[in-house]
Amino acid sequence: MTNSLNDMRHAESLIFIGSNAAEAHPVSMQHILHAKEVNNAPVIVVDPRRTKLAAKADEFVRIRPGTDCIFIMGLVNEVIQKGWQDKEFIRTRVAGYPEMAEVAAKYTPEEVENVTGIPAAQTRKVAKILAMNRPTSLTWCMGGTQHSIGSSITRAFCILQLVLGNMGKSGGGTNIFRGHDNVQGATDMCVLSHTLPGYYGLSDGSWKHWCRVWDVNYDYIKGRFKEKKWMNAKGFTLSRWYEGVLQNDKIEQYTPIKAMIQWGCGSNSNSQYDRVVEAYKKLELFVIVDPFPTMAAATCTTDNVYILPCASQYETSGSVTSTSRQIQWRYKIVDPVSGSRDDYSIMRDLVDRLGFADQFYKNIKEVPEDITREINRGTLTIGYNGQTPERIKKHMDNWHTFDIETLQAKGGPCDGDYFGMPWPCWTEQHPGTPILYDISKPVAEGGLPFRNRFGLEHKYIQSGRTENLLAAKGVYNPGSEVKGGYPEFKDIVPGTNWKTDLSQKTIKEAIKRGMAPFGNARARCVVWNFPDQIPIHREPLHTPRPDLIQNYPTYEDKPNQYRVFTRFKSEQNPDLASKFPFVLTTGRMVEHMGAGAETRSNKYLSELKSEMYAEINPVTGNNLGVRNGEMIWIESPEGGKVKVKAFFTERVDEKTIFMPFHFGGVLMGESLAGNYPAGHEPYVIGEPANVCTNYGYDIVTQIQATKDGLCNVSRA
């Protein structure tokens, strides 16, 4: 998230695509509505459903699921054709623009209408609204990411903001609302299978950096792996770990997965959930760490399952990172109840019993403060250097001194700081960076250019043109010694760069010179290390428009994608739509959260939303012989099926079915209520929507495609 929720108050227009903030992120609405009512900022909502956010929109754009990329690139094309692009911003701060514009030119408003169903006139209207009301705040959520081309879709969002010159500006930016508390922090710590903390990757250099941070011998770490090649290889992802157990698709690993720990994980958020359950039953050991028994616990009737009750956030303390990159401190309110234990003590016991404590826990004396200090020491890539426990607590204790619009403290102990010291916060004196890529203020005061990561110049295959990747002359933060672009800092301490110098002398030297440690470069429209260097539309694997496959085919199959063979072309069956004629999409409701284990165990929230349902257009229901409120079966091409109540509404069109994904405790028509520990079953149970979400994964990230699959509907 480049800006913050509060900064959205300064937007002159707002566009939400694949985001239903009114239900998924209701706190943000106070800032969104401020922009709408005080600035008279038009609100544009792009969604397959007429959501509660759409009810507040000046322009609702109903889009076919999975076609976000062509719509956005169509907006880019319309802006360029009308001459509305920010020419000076593009000239000085953007790379690969001509090559991108050539691709975007194919996406005329008429072709956008053909693919997305959005009228050509509406595409032109939206482009004009954005062009005439800058800066624009652009927001997306999982509706933009959970597609087989999700990585291209999100890149297209960024390109639109670059073309309009909305990056690095208050009221602008690309603002990705996170779905849960501390998702940003978990991502920054890289609780992922393909990188070490701070997005360092898995190279030998990255391992050696973190070995120095942890004070652990590199050869010891190397010895923990069967062979060194596994040390540098991406692991299984959360979306497809179960393939490592079932091996229905070829896996690239020397042994199947035999044991699993799920820590605070709502497993029924996984697509093709019936296959996940099948994998659970084949594990030799399955450990669930959660405040509540999850659906995963209820699905397993074997004797290899252990539930470790962990404390809630009110029973523990420590640092978390919010959607807006702000670091905050949780204070413990009460001691853990009913025999539960906080995450730290559970982790410490596991480390002790597995024999790692002497290596990994020797520097952790004060919990959780020393854990945050370790983050300060090692996570240099994104600037977690300056948010010490003491500074974070000071911000929490003096939150009332921060301005609600700028988030900067006015007087008091935190004077001049931005709330939560949003990363990067380069030193213990740095105020934090409220808006990424803002060159209007000095780096030492929270300003920042674009990062230099990919060399000094690049030759484009498409055009044969060579371009300087550094920012143009005259583009720099106030106070910079170099009055234009410059590369990243290195060799201030011999043999290190700004990311690996644990003394942090390199970072401090850069700040002293008024410069960013990571350089001053251009933002890329062309990403030459991705399968699609420029975002293009590709039809969903299970498309309702097989006539478009020839012009917009998917990718070739990809072996060893995060250790699993992933089908793309071989999965795109043009005959599927005739048997499964409806598009299935999923999403959130305001009363429940995530997989629902916590909220469905709350009697007050359960009272508000007590039944699982599927939204279906009345015309569709009548054509199927279904009445409103009757039970229906929804079935996926993979054989997953759920029994839910039909809820007639014109929020969805005649081709789309919507289900919330918060429910659990029922599996393909059978109640699992009796499988929960006695007295601990949720107040509300229901079918998990993700039993019916289809096969499909992003070509880069392997995030599951839950927003654009196919299904069939019949009376139960």
Answer yes or no: is 378 within a domain. no
260 pLDDT tier (thresholds 50, 70, 90): very high
Domain that holds residue 48: 6-176
**What is the residue type of 636?**
S
Could you tell me the two tokens for 413? 């102990």
Answer whether residue 304 shows pLDDT above 90.
no
Structure letter (DSSP) for residue 61: E
* pLDDT recorded at residue 634: 98
* pLDDT recorded at residue 181: 81
Phi, psi of 634 (to 5 degrees): -115, 130
Please state the rounded mean pLDDT for residues 324-336: 96
Max CA pair span of the chain? 75
Please state the rounded mean pLDDT for residues 222-247: 96
* pLDDT recorded at residue 490: 97
Answer yes or no: is 130 within a domain. yes
**Which residue shows structure tokens 């949720």?**
682
Answer yes or no: is 89 within a domain. yes
Give the CATH number for residue 606. 2.40.40.20
DSSP 67-122: -HHHHHHHHHHHHHHTT-S-HHHHHHHEESHHHHHHHHTT--HHHHHHHH---HHH
CA–CA–CA angle 621, 627, 632 (5° rounding): 75
Could you tell me the two tokens for 548? 């478009």
pLDDT per position as a tens digit, 650-706: 999 999 999 999 999 999 999 999 999 888 999 999 999 999 999 999 999 999 999
Q: How many domains is the chain partitioned into structurally? A: 2
Answer yes or no: is 661 within a domain. yes
Answer yes or no: is 48 within a domain. yes
Please say whether the beta carbons of 8 and 175 come within 8 A.
Answer: yes
Please say whether the beta carbons of 74 and 112 come within 8 A.
Answer: yes
pLDDT per position as a tens digit, 366-399: 999 999 999 999 999 999 999 999 999 999 999 9
Answer yes or no: is 514 within a domain. no
Cα dist. 95→152, 397, 528 in Å? 17, 43, 12
Answer whether residue 301 shows pLDDT above 90.
no
Answer yes or no: is 239 within a domain. no
Give the CATH number for residue 151. 3.40.228.10
Domain boundary residue among 142, 176, 210? 176
CA 447 centroid distance within chain: 24
Domain boundary residue among 176, 201, 236? 176
Answer whether residue 11 shows pLDDT above 90.
yes
Please state the rounded mean pLDDT for residues 453-460: 96
Answer whether residue 639 shows pLDDT above 90.
yes
Handedness of CA 597, 603, 609, 613 (dihedral sign): positive
What is the C-alpha to C-alpha distance for residues 642 and 713, in angstroms, rounded to an integer? 10
Please state the rounded mean pLDDT for residues 567-580: 97
Please state the rounded mean pLDDT for residues 547-555: 98
Lowest mean pLDDT among 68-72, 261-265, 542-546: 261-265
What pTM was estimated for this model as a whole? 0.97
- 545's CB contacts (< 8 A; 6+ apart) are 64, 115, 539, 577
Could you tell me the two tokens for 522? 């251009």
Domain boundary residue among 122, 156, 176? 176
Please say whether the beta carbons of 179 and 27 come within 8 A.
Answer: no
Structure letter (DSSP) for residue 322: -
pLDDT per position as a tens digit, 591-616: 999 999 999 999 999 999 999 999 99
Cβ neighbours of 201 (radius 10 Å): 15
pLDDT per position as a tens digit, 142-200: 999 999 999 999 999 999 999 999 999 999 999 999 888 899 999 999 889 999 999 99
What average pLDDT is seen over the chain? Answer: 96
Answer yes or no: is 485 within a domain. no
Please say whether the beta carbons of 664 and 596 come within 8 A.
Answer: yes
